[in-house]
C-alpha cells in the first residue's frame, strides 16, 4: 500500500470493481473543473494544510465549513513501467467545537492503466467519514497531540484508519508526525483482509504568510492477511504550500527510496481548498 490519504491500495479483481465510461464520468469531471475555477477565483483562507501526506493536530474552528480536493498521480512501478494512476478525493470539512472536527469524503475515484492495474479505465472506490479530536496545542503545550479516525466503505470493501497525530511549532518551523494503523476488508463477504502500519514525518518552514517550503517522509509496513510483515517501504520528497486568506494549495512530490516492485517509483499529490 502506498502512502495513505494519504495512498493507494491493491485493487480487488478488476472484473469485480465498479467501472464507468467517459460519458458517465463527464458530470464528475465537470464538477471538478467548476471547483478548480471557484478556488482560483475565490477572494482568499484561514486554515490550510502544510502537508499532503501528513496531518496536523489543529482543527477547524466551530462553524467553519471547508471544501478540500486532492489529486494524486502515481507512475512507474519497478515491475510495471507502464503503470499510471490518478486518484481523486472530494471532502467537506466541518468545525464542530474548538477541539473537534468532522469531514465527509463524498467520492473517492481514480483513473488507472498498466498491467498491475487491470483493465484501463475509471473506478469508484467509495466514500468515507473522518473524525479528528485535538488533545493539546502545538504552540502552548510541550507537544501538540490529536487522534484521528476514518471509516471508508465501497463496493465489497470496508476500511478503518486510526492515527495518532503529533506536532510541534518552533516559530515559523513546524514539525509533524503521524503513526497510522490501517485495517481493510475486501471481497464478497469481506473475507479478504490486510493491514498496514505507517509512519509519516513532515517539516515545513514559513517563508512568508503566503509561501511555505518543506519535506515529507513516509515509511510503511504491510501485513497481508494480518500475517508476517512485508519489507518496509520508504518514500521522501519536497513540498510547497501557497496560502491566500480563504484558499490554499499544497503540493508534495514523493520518490520511492526502496525498490518495492508493487509500489510507484514517483507520485505527486496536490490538495487545494477554500473555506466559507
pLDDT in tens, 122-140: 999 899 999 999 999 999 9
- Residue 8 maps to a domain: no
Which pLDDT band, with edges at 50, 70 and 90, does 261 fall under?
Answer: confident
Q: State mean pLDDT over 169-188.
A: 96
- Residue 4 maps to a domain: no
Which pLDDT band, with edges at 50, 70 and 90, does 47 fall under?
Answer: low
CATH number of the domain enclosing 155: 2.40.160.40
User: Please, which residues have CB within 8 angstroms of residue 141's CB and are 6 or more apart in sequence?
Assistant: none
Closest CA to 89 of 116, 108, 66, 111: 108
- Residue 7 maps to a domain: no
- Residue 5 maps to a domain: no
Domain that holds residue 105: 19-275
- Residue 1 maps to a domain: no
Domain count of the chain? Answer: 1
- Residue 134 maps to a domain: yes
Closest CA to 246 of 26, 10, 68: 68
Amino acid at each position: 500500500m502506498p502512502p495513505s490519504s494519504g495512498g493507494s491500495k491493491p485493487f480487488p479483481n478488476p472484473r469485480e470493481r465498479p467501472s464507468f465510461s467517459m460519458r458517465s464520468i463527464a458530470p464528475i469531471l465537470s464538477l471538478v473543473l467548476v471547483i478548480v475555477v471557484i478556488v482560483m477565483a475565490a477572494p482568499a483562507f484561514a486554515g490550510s494544510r502544510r502537508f499532503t501526506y501528513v496531518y496536523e493536530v489543529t482543527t477547524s474552528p466551530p462553524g467553519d465549513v471547508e471544501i478540500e480536493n486532492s489529486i494524486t498521480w502515481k507512475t512507474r512501478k519497478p515491475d510495471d513501467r507502464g503503470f499510471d494512476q490518478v486518484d481523486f478525493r472530494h471532502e467537506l470539512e466541518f468545525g464542530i467545537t474548538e477541539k473537534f472536527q468532522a469531514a465527509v469524503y463524498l467520492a473517492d475515484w481514480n483513473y488507472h492503466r498498466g498491467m498491475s492495474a487491470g483493465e484501463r479505465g475509471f473506478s469508484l472506490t467509495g466514500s468515507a467519514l473522518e473524525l479528528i479530536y485535538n488533545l493539546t496545542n502545538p504552540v502552548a503545550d510541550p507537544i501538540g497531540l490529536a487522534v484521528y479516525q476514518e471509516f471508508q466503505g465501497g463496493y465489497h470493501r470496508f476500511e478503518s484508519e486510526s492515527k495518532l497525530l503529533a506536532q510541534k511549532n518552533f516559530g515559523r518551523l513546524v514539525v509533524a508526525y503521524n503513526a497510522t494503523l490501517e485495517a481493510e476488508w475486501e471481497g464478497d463477504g469481506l473475507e479478504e483482509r490486510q493491514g498496514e502500519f505507517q509512519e509519516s514525518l513532515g517539516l515545513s518552514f514559513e517563508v512568508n504568510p503566503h509561501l511555505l517550503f518543506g519535506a515529507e517522509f513516509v515509511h510503511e509496513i504491510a501485513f497481508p492477511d494480518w500475517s508476517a510483515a512485508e519489507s518496509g517501504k520508504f518514500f521522501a520528497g519536497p513540498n510547497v504550500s501557497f496560502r491566500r486568506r480563504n484558499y490554499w494549495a499544497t503540493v508534495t512530490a514523493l520518490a520511492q527510496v526502496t525498490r518495492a516492485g508493487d509500489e510507484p517509483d514517483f507520485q505527486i499529490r496536490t490538495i487545494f481548498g477554500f473555506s466559507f
